Structure 1
Amino acid sequence: MPLALRDAFIDLEQYERLCAAAGEGERLEYLDGEVVRMMVGGSTAHHALTRRLDGLIADRLAPGGPCAVFRETMRLEAGTARFYPDVFVACGAGVAPDAETRGVPGATVILEVLSPSTERYDRGRKWLRYQSLPDLRHFALVAQDQCRIEAFHRQAAGWHYELLVGPDAVLRLEAVGVELRLGEVYAVLPALAAGADDRPAQAAFTPAQVASIAAMRGLPVSGEIEALLAELEPDACAAAVAALVAGDGVGGWAAILPERLHARLNARPDDASERG
């Protein structure tokens, strides 16, 4: 996990002072009054994918258009939060970074390259805060050990979850007019781009991650719920997270869990608010 610098709440002014005193290349994020030191550099694969995504998107954005792509050295402002996404695209009048803080006040597309140390943070608190960005239309989680991208696309009814696996799959970032075939994204990692990695796709979400995201969405997570979640297959976990993101927990667990578990869900002695 990323390292929290201190337990006590600090304000934005104190955060800015810490940033000013930070070492060269050190990235400090700020969320809910907490300062988080992010890993600098990362693995060779992480670095290669970040550069590749930045280059491909830059080449495909409309020349002279309203959008620009940024890498992890630029800071994204999400309300009172401050982040350093691996790659993001901002559009409109606020696209020019602040000369002093290198901050950009918004994003249309955000891509995070997953790492074992940051994956839970990227999927959880960070993603929830990203959703508060009014202009955000696409959020993608890019695996560095397999040819796999998970994408969330904002639609009228909420967020749509999409799992892309294999070199021929295409990530469509319609809000900025960019399409990325996974084979070309992973060309910097030849074994993955060529499909030489014949391992099955890893679970996008685990039952524990579903429970964690549900709790942050305000759904109660009892021992009985955790037992039901433990029975979910990877596809069902992905569907549960997509339902949580799209519906913000509206409808309770009945709207999240597959129908085959509803009888046991309704039979629990818990408060009816958990059942939906």
Structure 2
Amino acid sequence: MSGATLNHNIISFNFGSELRSKLKENPCIVIGADLKIQIEKNGLFAYPNVSVFCGKPEFFEDRNDTITNPILIVEVLSDSTEGYDRGKKIELYRELETLQHYFLVSQKKTHVEHFYKNEKRNWELVESKDLQGILEIQDLEIEISLSEIYSKVEFEKEID
């Protein structure tokens, strides 16, 4: 997303950096917001804030700027896209056969929603709202702390 807030950028970078650090001995690759994701079933092209694919990338029509096999997607919520990210976009992303994890991350408060496919291939949700919280990504055998995701983020004070 072009023109994102400082918090949006910090959170995206922190989440991606944590994933990269935890997956460095793994065949997975962590990508930032400039690589396009394409969902062939529904035609969606999207630029998630962070995505991960494991093994060999599968490119859309041999274009090296568009992959079709992410296993993990992170979207940092913004006022202009939150409704779409929570609604239609998650519905479209779920049509990706390879997708195992979808994270929605608030930039206004400590709040991460982790949608993941369970062993029966059904989607489940785990919410974390505490800076001492830990995100468990069991199939990748990693954990990420919310304190790392939100490191150096300053939330605006809410006006009563």
> Is 1:182 aligned to 2:117, yes or no?
no
Distance 1:157 1:56, change over 3 A: closer
SS of residue matched to 2:57:
helix
Runs of 5+ consecutive residues of structure 1 not aligned to the other structure: 1-38, 200-276
Which one has a larger percent helix, Structure 1 or Structure 2? 1
- Of the three residues 33, 39, 47, the one matched with 1:72 is 33
Deviating 4+ runs (over 6 angstroms): 96-99
> Is 1:121 aligned to 2:67, yes or no?
no
Structure 2 Cα separation of the partners of residues 99 and 160 of structure 1: 33
Structure 2 Cα separation of the partners of residues 89 and 174 of structure 1: 15
In terms of Rg, which structure is larger?
A: 1
Show CA shifts across 1:101-159 (max 9, x none): 51111111111000010001101111001101111111110000111101111111611
Show CA shifts across 1:177-235 (max 9, x none): 3211101111121x56xxxx7x8xxxxxxxxxxxxxxxxxxxxxxxxxxxxxxxxxxxx
> Is 1:92 aligned to 2:55, yes or no?
yes
Give the corresponding residue for 1:171: 135
SS of residue matched to 1:47:
helix
Structure 1 Cα separation of the partners of residues 128 and 106 of structure 2: 11
Give the corresponding residue for 2:97: 134
SS of residue matched to 1:128:
helix
Structure 2 Cα separation of the partners of residues 76 and 148 of structure 1: 25
Structure 2 Cα separation of the partners of residues 121 and 90 of structure 1: 23
**Kept in 1: contact 2:38–2:60 (CA 8 A):** no
Share of identical aligned residues, percent? 27
Distance 1:174 1:96, change over 3 A: farther
Structure 1 Cα separation of the partners of residues 21 and 60 of structure 2: 20
Structure 1 Cα separation of the partners of residues 18 and 35 of structure 2: 18
Structure scoring higher RCO (CA < 8 A, sep ≥ 6) equals 2
When the two structures are superposed, what TM-score results if normalisation uses the length of structure 1?
0.52
Give the corresponding residue for 1:24: none
Cα RMSD for the two superposed structures: 2.2
When the two structures are superposed, what TM-score results if normalisation uses the length of structure 2?
0.87
Structure 2 Cα separation of the partners of residues 135 and 75 of structure 1: 15
> What is the Cα deviation at residue 167 of structure 1?
0.7
Question: What is the count of residue pairs matched by the alignment?
Answer: 154
> What is the Cα deviation at residue 175 of structure 1?
2.6
Structure 2 Cα separation of the partners of residues 93 and 184 of structure 1: 28
Which one has a larger percent strand, Structure 1 or Structure 2? 2
Distance 1:66 1:187, change over 3 A: same
